[in-house]
Structure 1
Amino acid sequence: MDRRHLLRAAVLGGGAATLGFSLPARALAYPAVPGTSPYGPVGAADANGIRLPAGFTSRVVARSGQTVAGTGYTWHSAPDGGACFADGAGWIYVSNAENNSPNGKVSALKFSSGAVITAAYAIGAGMARNCAGGTTPWNTWLTCEEVDNGHVYETDPWGVNAKVQRAQMGRFNHEAAACDPVRQVVYLTEDKPDGGFYRYVPTGWGGATALATGTLQVLRQVGGVLSWANVPDPDGSPTATRYQVTGMKVFNGGEGAYYRNDRCFFTTKGDNKVWAYDAAAHTLHTVYDDNVPGAMLTGVDNVTGDAHVGDLYVCEDGGDMEICLITPGDVVATFLRVNGQNSSELCGVAFNPAGTRMYFSSQRGTTGSASGGITYEVSGPFRTSL
């Protein structure tokens, strides 16, 4: 039975100030509570089995094991985390393949300004369980290996430069990465029930060698006080990184991460929470917890934000196969639902640079197998103002 039908009883306390996703605070309670989507309810399933709000449409842009239309490239199995990069007037969507070693890889779809696919190609291969990752301000993709002693690799969305292993970013069960250009650090999540929340402090910032050397730190909480502590041995052998620092703040199954306006938003699937680390105030907040009546978001996974108003979009790994949004007013609501794919998970949610098209994948599609993955595009009237 879905967890949302087994909700723990909870009552939101009054008088709390919202975290907010844009700069102003708002006089509402948080975590976010279920409410009405700014796009209205989802309608009947379309030809692709996707239930969308009025005015939105979907199309399939790639299927695992099949040639991408207009190219000679075969799309990878088990599509997972993804992101978009500007490419002149067009854009590139990159997608991880969460396959066991040595079949983990990253592929890319290149789009014209009119959203026509003009090329598809690999930008990295020979890795293990490439799950999520993150973009850098210098337009590279950090792809993360979700295995014990996994690495972070820096890849080139244009497929020109070979992947580079960034060993100093730590060897652990990596999930996602999010760059903070203000403090010039990279936040990292760990997909373990007793995982940590890390940040990598590189000795440089920007360019091909920016992440080559640096210091790995993990968030501590002692006596209610947060601090960052150096991880003595980022190699994680023989002692895993999460066991090296006394007082490490434990997070239950770290998943997606997304940075905006001094805050790193990240998810934990073990307790179905969305967090925000406020780097300017050095505080930690719970943006969403399914421990509220009527909660519709469970199995929290990849997360991204829109380009205009500050909505967060969170994928479900399981649940009702939905992508839910969390508004700056702390309302959580369903944006879309995928029918007939209950043995899959949604992942790789990302917007093109203009914020007019959303991309995401169903990792195992209608077959329930990694070979049945489907990557979609959704277009429609995404809002540009509150």
Structure 2
Amino acid sequence: MNTFNPRRRKLLQYGFMGLGAFFGNALLPSPLKAASFSLSLAARAGLLPPDQNGVRLPAGFTSRIVARSGETLFGYTWPAAPDGGATFVTPEGGWIYVSNSELGNQAGSVGALRFNVQGEIIGAYSILSQTNRNCAGGHTPWQTWLSCEETDKGQVWECDPLGRKAAQVRSALGIFKHEAVAVDTRNMQLYLTEDQPDGCLYRYTARSFDATGYPNLEDGFLEVAEVVEGTIGAVRWHTLPDPLATMTPARKQVAKGSRFDGGEGIWYHQGIIYFSTKGDNRVWAYDIQQNHLSILYNAALFLSPVLTGVDNITGNAAGELLVAEDGGDMQIFVLTAGKVLPLLKVAGHDHSEITGPAFSPDGSRLYFSSQRGKTGRDEDGITFEITGPF
């Protein structure tokens, strides 16, 4: 059930206030402005019973299945274990949704679904293949997809969503158990999470830029974050001596580097880097200008937390933050205005996880996958599209 009783609601609000009073500041939309945010308004009404696709949604929203693992679409077989994803505008005004495949043994890949202006699927194809455990990644402002390998020797691959250019490995982004990437579009720096119990938060700074002002991903340096006085507060950045980890794993090269328990999704919005850590069920916010790290959500503060297994993160133009669950209750939640609100739930997929949430470029549709579907098997992944009053 997603209905909160009054006592539980009070505990939820109390837990947020104990995190450092982000109400009204720049880290999340303030309560005074919340009325203008459609996701918050929709989620407050609660979720209806499961629809024909097994998805519980607020009133006015609908779902459709756009791909299933093993299904052939336009001559391309949609991959198993769909994971991180993003969308991109096409020249004719449609869009593309790309999705990683988190398979090992050189069976990892990235698939693409192409939609026309009306939202009809008009193509499907591969933009990367023969890689390992492509977990999450990141959308770049120069319209490429950075696909991250979640292995000890994991790399970042830069992919062309249109499928016209061959994918290229970006060694300067380091060798470690990559999870996700977000681009600070003001300073053109990249932030990267690491899926290890003692993982680090990394930052990439380019030494050179192309003619359009975008960073060179082969000419730069990586740094590791140190939270100077403990868990939250001021951050100091240390240069990583050997990004290729030829002798020592990246996370062990800087002794002062702060440890984050299972870095997961990451997203940038208006000067803030948001990221999640699944091991301790936290959502963090790094204020770039203030050089300050805060905790926005900590499941340990709640008697009965509604959001657990925090994983992929995305958001909309208004700054409403969406957090998907790996396990938990198979829900996507909205974090905004000091509240945690369920936006959707996939029923009957108890041994799966929600992956790859991403809005269409115009914000009218939301895409995501149930990585292992109802059966809990990689080959039974399902990719959904949600429409409604976003």
TM-score, scaled relative to structure 1: 0.90
Shift, 1:21, TM fit: 5.3
User: Judging changes above 3 Å, is the alpha-carbon distance between structure 1 residues 310 and 76 closer, same or farther for their aligned structure 2 residues?
Assistant: same
- Say what the alpha-carbon RMSD is for the aligned residues: 2.3
CA–CA distance in structure 1, aligned partners of residues 170 and 150 of structure 2 = 15
Given that 1:16 and 1:27 are in contact with CA atoms closer than 8 Å, whether structure 2 keeps it comes out as: no
Matches within 5 A, 1:63-142: 63-68=68-73, 71-87=74-90, 88-142=92-146
Given that 2:151 and 2:177 are in contact with CA atoms closer than 8 Å, whether structure 1 keeps it comes out as: yes
CA–CA distance in structure 2, aligned partners of residues 345 and 199 of structure 1 = 28
1:297 maps to 307
Matches within 5 A, 1:116-265: 116-205=120-209, 210-224=216-230, 225-265=234-274
Given that 2:111 and 2:124 are in contact with CA atoms closer than 8 Å, whether structure 1 keeps it comes out as: yes
1:47 maps to 52
Shift, 1:26, TM fit: 6.6
CA–CA distance in structure 2, aligned partners of residues 240 and 19 of structure 1 = 40
1:355 maps to 363
Shift, 1:37, TM fit: 5.9
User: Judging changes above 3 Å, is the alpha-carbon distance between structure 1 residues 153 and 196 closer, same or farther for their aligned structure 2 residues?
Assistant: same
User: Judging changes above 3 Å, is the alpha-carbon distance between structure 1 residues 115 and 20 closer, same or farther for their aligned structure 2 residues?
Assistant: farther
Given that 1:36 and 1:331 are in contact with CA atoms closer than 8 Å, whether structure 2 keeps it comes out as: no
Given that 1:91 and 1:112 are in contact with CA atoms closer than 8 Å, whether structure 2 keeps it comes out as: yes
Cα deviation 1:253-291 (Å, max 9, x = unaligned): 000010010111100000101111110110001111112
CA–CA distance in structure 2, aligned partners of residues 197 and 381 of structure 1 = 35
Given that 1:184 and 1:205 are in contact with CA atoms closer than 8 Å, whether structure 2 keeps it comes out as: no
Unaligned runs of 5+ in 2: 1-7, 34-39
TM-score, scaled relative to structure 2: 0.89
1:306 maps to 316
Indicate which of 18, 23, 48 corresponds to 1:18. Answer: 23
Corresponding letter in the other structure for 1:79: P
Cα deviation 1:177-211 (Å, max 9, x = unaligned): 00012121100000000000001112234579821
Cα deviation 1:85-121 (Å, max 9, x = unaligned): 1113110000000000311100100001110001000
Shift, 1:18, TM fit: 2.7
- What's the secondary structure of 2:72's corresponding residue? coil
- What's the secondary structure of 1:216's corresponding residue? strand
Corresponding letter in the other structure for 2:78: W
User: Judging changes above 3 Å, is the alpha-carbon distance between structure 1 residues 124 and 55 closer, same or farther for their aligned structure 2 residues?
Assistant: same
Indicate which of 58, 63, 71 corresponds to 1:58. Answer: 63
2:4 maps to none
Corresponding letter in the other structure for 2:81: A
User: Judging changes above 3 Å, is the alpha-carbon distance between structure 1 residues 205 and 181 closer, same or farther for their aligned structure 2 residues?
Assistant: farther
Shift, 1:149, TM fit: 1.6
User: Judging changes above 3 Å, is the alpha-carbon distance between structure 1 residues 14 and 368 closer, same or farther for their aligned structure 2 residues?
Assistant: closer
- What's the secondary structure of 1:371's corresponding residue? helix
Given that 1:19 and 1:287 are in contact with CA atoms closer than 8 Å, whether structure 2 keeps it comes out as: no
CA–CA distance in structure 1, aligned partners of residues 198 and 275 of structure 2 = 15
Cα deviation 1:4-44 (Å, max 9, x = unaligned): xxx9998544983437557876799xxxxxx9864511001
User: Judging changes above 3 Å, is the alpha-carbon distance between structure 1 residues 39 and 111 closer, same or farther for their aligned structure 2 residues?
Assistant: farther
Given that 1:61 and 1:375 are in contact with CA atoms closer than 8 Å, whether structure 2 keeps it comes out as: yes
Q: Which structure has greater helix proportion? A: 2
Corresponding letter in the other structure for 1:263: I
Cα deviation 1:273-312 (Å, max 9, x = unaligned): 11111101100011111122442110011010013x2111
Cα deviation 1:56-77 (Å, max 9, x = unaligned): 0000000000112xx2211000
Given that 1:22 and 1:261 are in contact with CA atoms closer than 8 Å, whether structure 2 keeps it comes out as: no
CA–CA distance in structure 1, aligned partners of residues 218 and 330 of structure 2 = 38
2:383 maps to 375
- What's the secondary structure of 1:295's corresponding residue? coil
CA–CA distance in structure 2, aligned partners of residues 337 and 89 of structure 1 = 30
Given that 1:37 and 1:334 are in contact with CA atoms closer than 8 Å, whether structure 2 keeps it comes out as: no
Number of matched pairs: 366
1:4 maps to none
